[in-house]
Structure formats: structure tokens, C-alpha cells
Amino acid sequence: MSYEMIGISVLWIFLYGYIIVASVDFGAGFFAYYAKLTKKDHIMNQLISRYLSPVWEVTNVFFVFFFVGIIGFFPDTAYYYGTALLVPASISIILLAIRGSFYAFHNYGAKKSNIYMFLYGATGLFIPASLSVALTLSEGGFIVEENGTVSLQFAELFSSPLSWSIVVLAIVSVLFISAAFLSFYANRAQDTESLKIVRGYTLFWGTPMIVSALTAFIAISQHNERHFSNMMDLWWLLGLSVGFFMIAMWLIYRGKYYGLAFVSIMLQFLTAFFAYGIGHYPYLLYPYVTISDAATNETMGLALIIAFIGGLLLLIPSLMLLMKLFLFDADYVKGKK
Amino acid sequence: MEMDTVLLSRLITAMTLGFHVIFATIGVGVPLMICIAEFVGIKKKDRHYILAKRWARGFVITVAIGVVTGTAIGLQLSLVWPNFMRVAGNVIALPLFMEVFAFFFEAIFLGIYLYTWDRFKNPIIHWLLSIPVVIGSMFSAIFITTVNSFMNTPAGFVLEGGDLSEVNPIEAMFSLATPSKVFHVLTSSYLTCAILLAAIAAFMILKKGASSYHKKALNLMLAVAFVFGAINLLSGDTSAKFLAEHQPEKLAAAEWHFETEKNADLILFGWLNEDNEPTGVIRIPGALSFLAHNDFNSEVIGLDQFPEDETPPLWVHYMFDFMAVIGMVLVAVSFFYFVLKKLKKWNELSKPMLLMIVSTGPLAFLAVEFGWIYAEVGRQPWIIRGYMTVAEGATTSPYLGLMFFLFLGLYIVLAIVCLTTLTKLFRQNPVEAELERQYPVKEERENDEL
Ligand code: HDD
Ligand code: HEM
Ligand code: HEM
């Protein structure tokens, strides 16, 4: 495997990791606000804050890792996406910043003001929506280079069914993943009342999830024939994805093995996400940037891979310690520590 | 129009970095202070060093802001300087990439440290958890500073007709500017944070009277500030010597040193008259030569050696002067405090002394800001010195003006959230109450020490 293939694979895995961890976080924000509206917050919020407080910074680093990594491995992306994304990415930054400061406020602030809870809930939906724009742009047709200047076609972006279907898919997936994770966590914490609520959410969001995935799929076929047929060649990955989805729904419906159900959902997204990514190959931005043209020089590629391996050797034991102390320490989960 | 985007790009970057660096400095320095305080507390078995725990709690809030502004600057580098990142990405991506690992490492252990105060029988284990945090934040500062060093003294590549070749990431990281810059950035961060915490303690003593808790905090932090203040003078001097050797136009601009000459004078403050002659200045004969080469008679290169369009603006003179003067003041104040403390008949906790210590807090942060403005504007007109100008690196996007105000609004909100949350946090939970909760039995020992 050439080093740029290693690079893009690693980055794609990290992006997948971010999507899962961040979805849990973003969706939880929305549910926390929703619980407050429906006056169920006393049950839910304890659960949410115990899980989220220790790990939110780690979630953010996943994101930083992805964008620093992609610029490192593929410096041309900085040029095209950097110029085109100034506005959408700035909006994402601002939303992320509002959300980040929520944790500061929430942990120590005197009272949880309604405005802040609202912002926390709303950013949980708007951030995935604004970040998903980058995926839409990569399909081509929205970023144009003319006379050496790169620009973003706002009108086309806002009138495209593709961009809206991806936005909807992003939001619904966030809610679905998050609800499933919270079911698992509530079950572990033996918090039956919360479990009842979040299990209901998971079942509820399952159907819109699969419908919006189909819609986005159709939209891609209209917009980028090449990408669509590549994905169709990977029909078995997509089939697996649907299979995992059904297993997860069945388990949650039966009210059993929530851990397994969540793993199933992770696999559902893993397979779909890789079918999407492999289908996209070799483009990073259709039709301007391909993986091989954009790749950095060999020395840097090699250096980055070595740094990456070194970094993992350092991080994996540390992450295991973190998980051992918080996520899988039964007493902590139950709120005794 | 063209000029406007470049100016706006600079302004957005300056604003974001100027804001981020406050939290970055805290992020680098405060973990060390927490680590020191917890260690002293364990060694002395003194419960007043619960201050480590209280600092850590405040620290989390500044970290939150540091992380969001850091994420902003990280993305903005590509958004606002796409051409620069396209070139620099090829050569200097390695430390940027490694910096993320350093953050990651720090974030993980910070999470563990914060939520495990009472989970270990042996307090030393908890203290050990602070060390990865200190190391992680130190390395994030080192890595990012190597990137900045690269911009000043580019190395590790060959550029021919727009094509990069023979890239060597390690050489790029360890460019000529790296040693002095890393040294100075680290010591100034530690100094600034020690001063910050000392200033807070002095403020509390002024407000609530001298409790032994705040007195211990003040003593400890001023001692640390004195040590790092002295080292920082040394590192600043190292930086100046580096400039004289490898980036002479930056030093010459700061010193209004127009003609290359031997036995050059150091010029403080003043202004430039119509003929560009320094007026109303304080002149220290030969001192610039000494600052540059440790020798009063050495030759210092002046601005006459450079084409006019390749020299930085002359107002950086004030930035350099303010930074250096503050550097001396910080050391002097902490030294003076201990002199008063040693001389029994003087009171080191008198109101003027405390007021002076309180004022050093903001001064230290001003020095950091002035230092960075000097370092960055002093590189003008280059973004990668000798290879790419700032104007060539900037974006062509027409929406910068709007973004500028959006971010300005964001930083104002963040500053307000940060300050109100911090004050609320400490008001709601005064030291006395916390001490009582933590150590209810040992109540009688309240005033034993000091
Ligand atoms: C508390 C903060 C602080 C204090 C008291 C000082 N500095 Fe400083 N200085 C910085 C904080 C700083 C900084 C923010 O860390 C900078 C900006 C860029 C850099 O490398 O460090 C800096 C840059 C900087 C540079 C430019 C380096 C370069 O661009 O490569 C020089 C020559 C000095 N300093 C010299 C001094 C001297 C001679 C000082 C005292 C007598 C001094 N500094 C005190
Ligand atoms: C990765 C490293 C860095 C990059 C790519 C970078 C880039 C830039 C650019 C492009 C500018 C605007 C052009 C100019 O005025 O010189 C700038 C200005 C500035 N930067 Fe840096 N910088 C870096 C490191 C830092 C660091 C670490 C700090 C401190 C936190 C900093 C502080 C500043 C300040 C205060 C300005 C304002 C200068 C002005 O007023 O124009 N920079 N930087
Ligand atoms: C161009 C300059 C800079 C860039 C691109 C940058 C980038 C970042 C990023 C992306 C983060 C968030 C990381 C996360 O998500 O955890 C961050 C936070 C941080 N940055 Fe910066 N940074 C710059 C300047 C600096 C400087 C000059 C320092 C130190 C002297 C510094 C030290 C830190 C620290 C310690 C944090 C962690 C948050 C905290 O502990 O407060 N950064 N920075």
C-alpha cells in the first residue's frame, strides 16, 4: 500500500471515530434539552453529564486530528477547501465554540439557564449539519476554480437536493446513534427510568434514519453518477450495513443486549461509511483533487506515518486507562464515585 | 480590494491568536503550578495546599476556552491562509500533526486527574497523574513553536520554480530559530502563570485579609515567579542574540538601528521625528552590541543592509520595549517581596506591595501579547521568510469582513462566559467552606502553620 493510501485510510477511520463519538455527544445535547422541555430532565441529565463531562475534550481532539491530518497528508486540500469553506467552516467553529463553553458553564455555572440549555441542544443539531457541508462539497459541482480563484457556489449549494438530504441524514444519524448509546449506558448504570425514555428514542429514530439514508443515496445518484455506480459495486458492504441495522433494531426492540446493539450500530455505520469513502476514491474533491495528486512528498508522508504510530503507542494505553476508570468502572457508571 | 483581503486576513489571525495565546499560556503554565502545589502539599502534609485542587478547577474552564479557540485557529490557518498552508503543509506538517497527539495525551490525563482526587489511597499516585499533563502541554507548546520558528528561518526544503523538493521534516522542525524560541516561550509561560496565581492570591488578601491559605499561595508562586523570571531574562537575551545572528532586520527594527555600526547604543522608548531620527529616547551606550553579541564593541547589522520593502514596520520598537521592561519589573517585584519578607521590621503584606503584585498579573499577559506582536509583525512582509510574503499567502475569499465581526462577537462572548463562570465558581465555594468539607475532623489545626 502506498503511503497516501495508508494516510487516507487512517484519516477515514479517524473521521469515522469522530462521527460516532461526536454523535453521541451532539445527540445527547438535543435530548437533554428535549428532556427539559418535557420535564424529564431530572432523570436524564444526570446520566448525560456523568458520561459527557470527562470525555468531551477527547471528542474534540478527534476532529482536530482529522483536519490537521488531512492538511498534512494532502496539502492541496488546504487550498481548495480552505478557500471555499471560509464561511461554512467559520460557522461550524462558532457553533463548536458555543458548545465547548457550555461545558465550562455547565460544570460550574450557578444555574443551568434556559438559554444555555437551548444553545446546547440546538448546536447539537446545527454542528453536524454545518460539518456535513464538507461531504456535500466533495461530490463536486459546488466548488469552482476560475482564473486561479477558487469560489463556492452558494446558490447551487442551497438549492441542491443532495446537500439537504445529507444534512437531514447527518442530523437523524446523530440522534439515532446517541439514543442507542444512551440506552446502553443507562442499562449499565441500571437506571431503568432513563432507559425507558432513551430506548423509546432509539426505536423512534430508526425509521427516519434508514429513510434518509436511502434519500441521500438517491440524491448522490442524481448528482454524481460515478460515485453512485462505484458504491453499487460495493453492494455487499451496503447490504451488511442494512443487516447490522436490523440486528440492532431487533435487539433494542427486545430490550436485550444493549451493548451488542450499539456495536451493531457502529458496524452499520462503519460499513456504510467505508462504502461511501471507497466509492469516492480516488477523489478528495471532485474533480479537482485526487488522492495521488494531492499527496504530500514521500519523506513527509513517511514521517507522518511514523509519528502516527508513535502517537498511537502513547495514546492507546492512556485511553484504556481513561475507559477503565470511567466508562467501564461499574461504580462510577452507577454514580457512586 | 486586493489589499483589503490581506489586511483583513491579518486582522482575523491577529485577533484569534491574540485571544488564543492568553489561554494557551495558561494551558502551558498552570499545570506546572498545580503540580508543584500538590507536591508541596503532600510533602508537608499541609491541607492548605488544597489550592492545587482549586486551581485545577478553575483551570478546566480556561482549558475549555483554550480548546475552542485553538480549534478555531487550527481551522483558520487553512481558511485564511490557504496558499501558505499548501506550501507549509508540505514541509512543516509534522509538528502540527504531533501537536495533536500532545493535546490528546494532555486531554486524557487532565480528564483523569480532575475526576480522581479521592480515588487513590496514596496521594502520590494522584500527583503522578499531573505529570503527563505538564509534559503534554509543554510539548504542545514546543511543537507549535517549531512551526512558528520555521516561518522565521525556513529550512528543510529546496524551492525551485514553484516546486518543492528534498523535503526534510526534521530539519524544518529544528530550524535555526527553534532553540531560542522554544526556550523563551516556555519560560515566559511559566513565569506568566506563576505571576497570575500570585496576583490572584494578593488580590484575595487585599479583599479578605491574610489567611494562611492565601499567604502560602502567594509565597509559593512568587518564589516560582522569581526563578522563572530570572531564567526568562536569560532566554529573552538568547532570543535577541539569535535575532542579531539570523534575523537582524527584526532586531534592528525593534531598536531603530538604521546604520550598521560597532558599539551600538540601546534605545528605549522615544519617537521618530520627520527625518526618521529617534528623538526623546533613553540611550544606553553600547548596550545593543552587548545584547546582540555579548560584547560592547561588536558590530550590529542595521536596516541599511536590507531593501526598504523587506523591513518590518518600525512601531515594533514599542512592543519590544514594553515586553523587556515588563520582564525586568516582574523579576524586580518578586525579588523585592522576598527582601521585605527577610527584613523582619518590614511588612511584605503592606497594601502598596500587594497592589503592586496584583498589577503584575495583567502586565505579564501584556508582555506575552507584546512579545508575540513583536515576533509576528517583526517578520513582515514575510509569512515564510525569504520565500512567501503575507500577501501571497492570504485567501481570496470575499467574505472576510463579515467573518471578522462574527469572530469578534464570539471572542467577546467567550471572554464574558469565562470570567463570569470563574468568579461564580470561586464565590460560591470559598476556601474556608471547602477546607471544612474536605477535612472536617482536623478543625482545631486551622491556624497552626506560619
Ligand atoms: C511574560 C512574557 C515575556 C517577557 C517578560 C519577555 N518576553 Fe520576550 N517574548 C515573549 C514573552 C516575554 C513571547 C510571547 O513568548 C515571545 C513572542 C514570540 C516568542 O518567541 O516569544 C517573545 C519574543 C521575544 C523576542 C523575539 C524572538 C523571535 O522573534 O525570534 C525577543 C528578542 C525577546 N522576546 C526578548 C526579550 C527580552 C530581552 C526580555 C526581557 C528583558 C523579554 N523578551 C521579556
Ligand atoms: C503555526 C504558527 C503560526 C502561523 C502560521 C502564524 C501566522 C500568522 C500570520 C499569517 C499572521 C498575519 C501576518 C502578520 O501580521 O505577520 C500572524 C500574525 C500574528 N500572529 Fe502568528 N502565526 C503562527 C504562530 C503564532 C503564535 C504561536 C502566536 C501566539 C499565540 C502568534 C501570534 C500572532 C500575533 C499576535 C499576530 C499579530 C500580528 C499583527 O498584528 O499583524 N502567531 N500570524
Ligand atoms: C498558530 C498557532 C496555534 C495553533 C494552530 C494552535 C492550535 C491549537 C488547537 C487546535 C487547540 C485545540 C486542541 C484540542 O482540541 O484539544 C489548541 C489548544 C491549545 N493550544 Fe494552541 N495553537 C496555536 C498557538 C499556541 C501557542 C503559541 C501555544 C503555547 C504557547 C499553544 C498552546 C495550546 C494549549 C496548551 C492548548 C490546549 C488547551 C489548554 O490547555 O488551554 N497554542 N491550540
How far apart CA B248 and CA B305 sit, in angstroms, is 9
Q: What is the β-pairing status of strands A149-152 and A143-146?
A: antiparallel
The CA B17 to ligand 2 mean position distance, Å, reads 6
The reply to whether omega before A282 is within 30° of 0 (cis) is yes
pLDDT surpassing 50 at residue A204: yes
Partners of B158 in the beta sheet? B165
With bands split at pLDDT 50, 70 and 90, how would you rate the model's confidence at A104?
low
Is B135 buried (19+), middle (13-18) or exposed (0-12) by CB count in 10 A? middle
Instruction: Look up residue B365 and give its three cell numbers.
Output: 499577559
Q: Which of B72, B119, B132 sits opposite A93 (nearest CB)?
A: B72
Q: Is the CB of B376 under 6 A from ligand 2?
A: yes
Q: Which atom of ligand 2 is nearest to the CA of B390?
A: 13
Q: What is the ipTM of this complex?
A: 0.80
Q: Which of A8-12, A76-80, B195-199 shows the lowest per-residue confidence on average (mean pLDDT)?
A: A76-80
Distance from residue B101's CA to the centre of ligand 3 (Å): 12
pLDDT tens digits for range A271-313? 888 888 888 777 777 777 777 777 777 777 788 888 888 888 8
Which residues, 6 or more positions from B312, have their beta carbon under 8 angstroms from its beta carbon?
B249, B250, B253, B377, B378, B379, B380, B381
| B159: Cα within 13 Å, side-chain hemisphere | 13
Contact residues on chain A for B70, CB-CB shorter than 8 A: 64
- Write out the three cell numbers for B34: 498545580
* Contacts B113 to A, Cβ<8 Å: none
Nearest CA to ligand 1 atom 5: B327
Which numbered atom of ligand 2 lies nearest the CA of B383?
Answer: 10
Contact across the interface for A54 and B71, Cβ inside 8 Å: no
Q: Which residues of B touch A58 (CB under 8 A)?
A: 104, 107-108, 111
Please give the Cα distance from B32 to B197 (Å, whole number).
Answer: 12
Ligand 3 atom closest to residue B28's alpha carbon, by position in its atom list: 35
* Predicted local confidence at residue B367, as pLDDT: 92
Tell me the HSE value of A44 on the side-chain side, using a 13 A CA sphere.
Answer: 23
Q: Whose CA is nearest to atom 21 of ligand 1?
A: B185
Q: How many CB pairs (< 8 A) connect A and B?
A: 212
B210: nearest Cα among B419, B353, B60, B379: B353
- Reported pTM: 0.84
Question: Is B80–A86 a contact, with Cβ atoms under 8 angstroms apart?
Answer: yes
Q: How many CB atoms lie within 10 A of CB B409?
A: 11
**Is residue A101 within 8 angstroms of chain B, CB to CB?**
yes
Contact A67 B407 (CB under 8 A): no
Which residues of chain B carry a pLDDT beneath 50?
A: 1-3, 441-450
pLDDT digits (tens, 9 = 90+) for A117-148: 788 888 888 888 888 888 888 877 778 877 77
* CA nearest ligand 3 atom 31, residue: B24
Mean local confidence (pLDDT), A22-33: 84
Q: Which of B99, B84, B126, B122 is nearest to B393 (CA)?
A: B84
Q: In DSSP terms, which residues pair with B261 in a beta bridge?
A: B300
pLDDT exceeding 90 applies to what percent of chain A?
Answer: 1
CA–CA dist B102, B100 (Å, integer): 5
| Helices vs. strands in chain A: H and E counts, helices first | 14, 4
Contact present, A268 and A241 (Cβ < 8 Å) = yes
Taking Cα atoms as reference points, which of A298, A190, A88 lies closest to residue B75?
A: A88
Q: Which residue has the cell 451488542?
A: A260
Ligand 1 pocket mutation pick from B239, B322, B365 by most atoms within 8 angstroms of CB? B239
Among the listed residues B401, B331, B395, the one whose alpha carbon sits nearest the alpha carbon of residue B360: B331
Least Cα separation, residue B105 to chain A (angstroms): 6
| Across A167-179, average pLDDT | 90
Which residue from B minimizes the CA distance to A318?
A: B108
Residue A44 and residue A26: Cα distance in Å, rounded?
15
Q: What is the pLDDT of residue B445?
A: 45
Which ligand 1 atom sits closest to the C-alpha of B237? 38
Contact assignment for B93 to A304 by CB distance below 8 Å: yes
- Note the ligand closest to the C-alpha atom of B147: 2
Residue type at B293?
Answer: H
The answer to whether B399 touches A83, Cβ cutoff 8 Å, is no
Residue among A65, A300, A325 whose CB faces B167 most closely? A300
Residue ranges of A 294-323 with Cβ closer than 8 A to chain B: 296-297, 299-300, 303-304, 307-308, 310-311, 314-315, 318-319, 321-322
Chain B contact for A116 (CB, 8 A cutoff): no
Partners of B271 in the beta sheet?
Answer: B279
**Length reported for chain B:** 450
The single-letter code of the amino acid at B117 is: W
Whether ligand 3 lies within 6 angstroms of the CB of B27 is answered as: yes
Q: CA-CA distance, B172 to B166, in Å (whole number)?
A: 11
Between B49 and A74, the higher pLDDT residue: A74
- Taking CA atoms only, the protein residue closest to ligand 1 atom 15 is B185
Q: Which residues line ligand 1 (CB under 6 A)?
A: B 152, 177, 181, 184-185, 188, 191-192, 232-233, 236-237, 239-240, 242-243, 250, 323-324, 326-328, 330, 364, 367-368, 371-372, 374-375, 378
What is the reported pLDDT for B431?
A: 65
- The H or E element containing residue B264 is none
B376 CA distance to ligand 2 centroid (A)?
5
Residue A150: in which H helix or E strand, if any? Answer: strand A149-152
Question: Which set of grid coordinates corresponds to residue B35?
Answer: 503540580
Whether residue B138 contacts residue B28, with contact meaning beta carbons closer than 8 Å, is answered with yes
Residues with Cβ within 8 Å of residue A324, at least 6 apart in sequence: none
Say yes or no: CB of residue B81 within 6 Å of ligand 2.
yes
A86–B contact, CB cutoff 8 A: yes
Give me A54's grid cell. 470527562
Q: For residues A37 and B353, what is the distance between their CA atoms, to the nearest angstrom? A: 53
Nearest residue of chain B to residue A79 (CA atoms): B82
What is the chain B residue with the closest CA to A108?
A: B425
Q: Alpha-carbon torsion A227, A232, A237, A240, what sign?
A: positive
| Section A202-214 average pLDDT | 87
Q: Round to whole Å and give the CA distance between A229 and A235.
A: 10
3-state secondary structure of B386: coil
| Residue A307, min C-alpha distance to chain B (Å) | 7
Whether B28 and B141 have beta carbons less than 8 Å apart is answered as yes
pLDDT of A228 strictly over 80: no
Instruction: List the single range of A45-54, A104-113, B305-314 with lowest mean pLDDT.
Output: A104-113
Q: Is A249 exposed, middle or buried (0-12, 13-18, 19+ CB in 10 A)?
A: buried
**A149 touching B, CB under 8 A?**
yes
| Distance spanning both ends of chain A, measured CA to CA | 47
Q: Which atom number of ligand 3 is nearest to the Cα of residue B77? A: 5
Q: What angle do CA A39, A45, A48 make, to 5 degrees?
A: 145
Q: Do A104 and B78 touch (CB under 8 A)?
A: no
Q: Alpha-carbon distance A335 to A323, whole Å?
A: 15
CA atoms within 13 A on the CB side of B148: 21
Residue with grid cell 527582601, as numbered in its chain:
B339
In this model, does residue A90 exceed pLDDT 50?
Answer: yes
Strand partners, B384: B388
